[in-house]
Amino acid sequence: MLASEEFKNRDAKEAKARAGEVREMKNPFEKMPTILTADELIDKAFRRAEKAASAFTPRGNPISKARQREELRVRTVSNILRDSLKKILDRTPGVSTLPEFYRELVDTLVDRNQFHKALASVNWAIKTIRTLEQRYAEKIRYSKDPEEIARLRRQFYGRVASVIKDIADNLEYLNQARNVLKELPVIELDLPTIVIAGHPNVGKSTLLRQLTNAKPEVASYPFTTKGINVGQFEEHYLRYQVIDTPGLLDRPLSERNEIEKQAILALKHLGKVIIYIFDPSEYCGYPVEDQMHLFDEIYAEFREFPFIVVLNKVDVASEGKIMEVEEFVKSRGLEPLRIVAKDGRGLGMVKEKIMELTRPMMEERARKLMEEELKKYREEEF
């Protein structure tokens, strides 16, 4: 489809223009408007045209009056429709302009191809309506018969309605996509980021709550977290970002559902440090053997990142199980920390560990900021 190509080009251009300025990230789809259904859209345009026509007092002879009134209807319908449609295009960012994390996240939530095709169809409708408007306005202007003028206007109405109905499915798809995309987490891609991972129900969201200002949902059953939660905390005037992810089961990536894929994406793109949670109490519903197995998978896949391994719920876990998991963690060359996320016990150690592991990143960041400041200062000088 040609129009679809056009979108890719537009994306590429925007990407170039925006490269390097993705600092303070907002939800990129925040401004997407509610998208009316085809019927609602047609209704709105026709209603507005009637309103405009009844408020208008044409002058001249009867033919001239009919021409003016019907041309006004045609122009109004066209304007309302094209404005509504254009608003969708203007306020929807091209997916390929987004940072990689968001791009892949969007891909797990909506079908990018279909999304682009839907946008392209909106673009097509705008152009087609414009052409029809010109054509019919001209016909109306040259017509000398009041009945023909009315007929032409009705014909125009019929044709634009059918253009909008042609893209009805696309509009509906865009609205569904919008509802999903508006919920995307707002993540600052520049902050040192810690991603929490583990089996369902082990206490990931509870830990996020305790470490940061975030208020994620916590429940005593698995699979509570369906998307990514974000929180921040400040320590020694530096900000840290913590990401809570949906629980992961022990299975290959190809079998993971969309919710689990979000957790993997967060680990892949956002994780500078990973906090891995074990629940040696097994109240989460998964035996420690399963948890160890999943840990090995994740550890193998994301080995380039520093890991902090915590044993949660030690308030209710048996000493035997705790030691068993600790032995396992040590055998992987890591130092396990005991915590009770629920009441905050042991979290001081976790924060210290976070700071220790992110120090090189923080220093690098401070150096960059300093260089930018210096550069600005020098530019001002000359």
Residues that bind ligand GTP (CB under 6 A): 200-206, 218-220, 222-225, 246-247, 312-313, 315-316, 340-342
206 binding Mg ion? (CB under 5 A): no
Cα–Cα distance for residue pair 350/280, rounded to 1 Å: 18
Q: Which residue, 275 or 329, has its beta carbon nearer to ligand GTP?
A: 275
| 205 binding Mg ion? (CB under 5 A) | yes
Q: Minimum distance between the CB of residue 231 and Mg ion, rounded to whole angstroms?
A: 12
268 binds, among Mg ion, ligand GTP, none (CB under 5 to 8 A by kind): none
Give CA–CA dist 249/199, Å, rounded. Answer: 6
When asked if residue 123 is in the footprint of Mg ion (CB under 5 A), the reply is: no
Among ligand GTP, Mg ion, none, partner that 82 touches (CB below 5 to 8 angstroms by kind): none
Cα–Cα distance measured from residue 300 to residue 49, given in angstroms and rounded to the nearest whole number: 64
How far, in Å, CA of 251 to CA of 101, rounded?
Answer: 22
Rounded least distance, CB 224 to ligand GTP, Å? 4
Task: Pick what 322 binds: Mg ion, ligand GTP, none; C-beta below 5 to 8 Å, kind-dependent.
Answer: none
Q: Is 308 helix (H, G, I), strand (E, B) or coil?
A: strand
97 near 138, Cβ under 8 Å?
no
- Are 32 and 181 contacting, i.e. CB atoms less than 8 angstroms apart? yes
CA nearest to 71, candidates 153, 159, 154: 153
Question: Which residue minimizes CB distance to ligand GTP?
Answer: 247
Instruction: Give the one entry of ligand GTP, Mg ion, none that residue 202 binds, where binding means its C-beta sits below a cut-off of 5 to 8 angstroms depending on kind.
Output: ligand GTP
201 binds, among ligand GTP, Mg ion, none (CB under 5 to 8 A by kind): ligand GTP
- Pick the binder of Mg ion from 97, 121, 123, 225 (CB under 5 A): 225
Q: Which 8-state DSSP code applies to residue 255?
A: G
Residue 245 Cβ vs Mg ion, minimum distance, rounded to whole Å:
8
- Measured distance CA(25)–CA(67) in Å, rounded: 51
From the CB of 166, what's the least distance to ligand GTP, in Å?
A: 43
Surface-to-core class of residue 156, CB atoms within 10 Å of its CB (0-12 exposed, 13-18 middle, 19+ buried): buried
Of residues 204 and 321, the one with the C-beta less far from Mg ion:
204
